[in-house]
Amino acid sequence: MSSVAQPYPRVSEGDEVEDVKERLRRAIRDARSQRSVRRREAAALALADVVTSIPAVASAGCISVYAARPSEPGTGPLLEALAARGVRLLLPVLGSGLRRDWAEYAGPEDLRERAPGRPPEPGTPTLGASALADADVIVAPALAVDTSGARLGQGGGWYDRALEHARDGVLVVGVVFPEEVYDATSRPLPRERHDRLVDVVATPDGWQPIG
């Protein structure tokens, strides 16, 4: 666990779960914005070493990853490390109305912010939502993960719905900064019935299985 302060929302009787989630999202985004470029670059390099050390990742032939936004734990070095191994990489593509789609990674020079506010996306042909079934491991972004596997996403439900196309039993890895791993016994993340759990949480400091 990092020594950086860990925000946690106060919950009052009658609060809606989504309202609690949104307060926590704002606090975590604000904390992320305080990181310097140097710290982000160091974290991205460390994260690549951590994720590639997960046994299921090391043996996978096809992995779903994502191109991180500037404030997120960086995935550039991870993408390059996996591509150098010859792993087929599927990256999310957000269509109109947050439609779920995937395309193959073709190198950093191909990644573009295709629409304002969206993460970088590849320009290779889209493969459809069902392409996620090809992935042997799914590396998913998160704002926080707790030790029960609950994942706090950005709020659009994109990954919760996308994971409906994953093969049964595929390992899902949630990626966060160290202070964004919450103890489910003392600081459980707010969760709704449709929220999908992760199997592993990875940070630049290391990885741990859930449970």
- Whether 1 shows a pLDDT value over 60: the answer reads no
Q: Does any domain span residue 163?
A: yes
Q: Are 48 and 65 in contact (CB under 8 A)?
A: no
Q: What is the pLDDT of residues 53-62, one digit of tens each?
A: 999 999 999 9
Task: Work out the average pLDDT over 3-8.
Answer: 75
Model pTM score: 0.93
114 found inside a domain: no
Structural domain containing residue 40: 17-86+132-209
What is the total count of domains within the chain? 1
Beta strands in the chain (DSSP E): 62-64, 88-94, 100-104, 137-141, 144-146, 151-152, 171-175, 181-182, 200-203, 206-209
Better-predicted residue by pLDDT, 56 or 116: 56
Classify residue 118: in a domain, yes or no.
no
Q: CATH number for the domain including 170?
A: 3.40.50.10420
Q: How confident is the model at residue 4 (pLDDT cuts 50, 70, 90)?
A: low
